[in-house]
Structure 1
Amino acid sequence: MPKLTVIGYGKYTVEKGTKLVLALEDNGVDILHRCGGNARCTTCRVEIHDGDFCELSSGETEMTYEDRLRLSCQIRVEGDATVRPVLTVESTGKKPGPRPAD
Structure 2
Amino acid sequence: MPRIVIENLFNRTINSTASKRKVIELIHENGIDWMHACGKKGRCTSCKMIVVEGLENLSEPNERETNYFKQKRLGPQERLSCQSTLDKGEIRIRVAEINKFPHLEYSE
Q: TM-score, normalised by structure 1?
A: 0.79
Query: In the alignment, which residue of structure 1 is the partner of 2:66?
Result: 61
Deviations 1:53-102 (A, max 9, x none): 122111011124310011011111112111112214x248xxxxxxxxxx
1:1-102 correspondence to structure 2 within 5 Å: 1-9=1-9, 10-14=12-16, 15-51=18-54, 52=56, 53-64=58-69, 65=72, 66-79=75-88, 80-86=90-96, 87-88=99-100, 90-91=101-102
After the TM superposition, list the runs of 4 or more consecutive aligned residues in structure 1 that deviate by more than 6 angstroms. none
Shift of 1:8: 2.4
Q: For this pair of structures, how many residues does the alignment match?
A: 92
CA contact (8 A) 2:14 2:27 kept: no
Give unmatched runs, 5+ long, in structure 2: 104-108
Give unmatched runs, 5+ long, in structure 1: 93-102
Q: What is the CA–CA distance in structure 1 between the aligned matches of 2:46 and 2:67, rounded to whole Å?
A: 14
C-alpha root-mean-square deviation of aligned residues, in Å?
1.9
Deviations 1:1-44 (A, max 9, x none): 21211112311102211100111122232111111111111100
Q: Which has the higher Rg, Structure 1 or Structure 2? A: 2
Instruction: Write the letter of the residue equivalent to 2:61.
Output: L
- Percent identical among aligned pairs is 25
Query: In the alignment, which residue of structure 1 is the partner of 2:106?
Result: none
CA contact (8 A) 1:39 1:59 kept: yes
Q: Which has the higher helix share?
A: 2
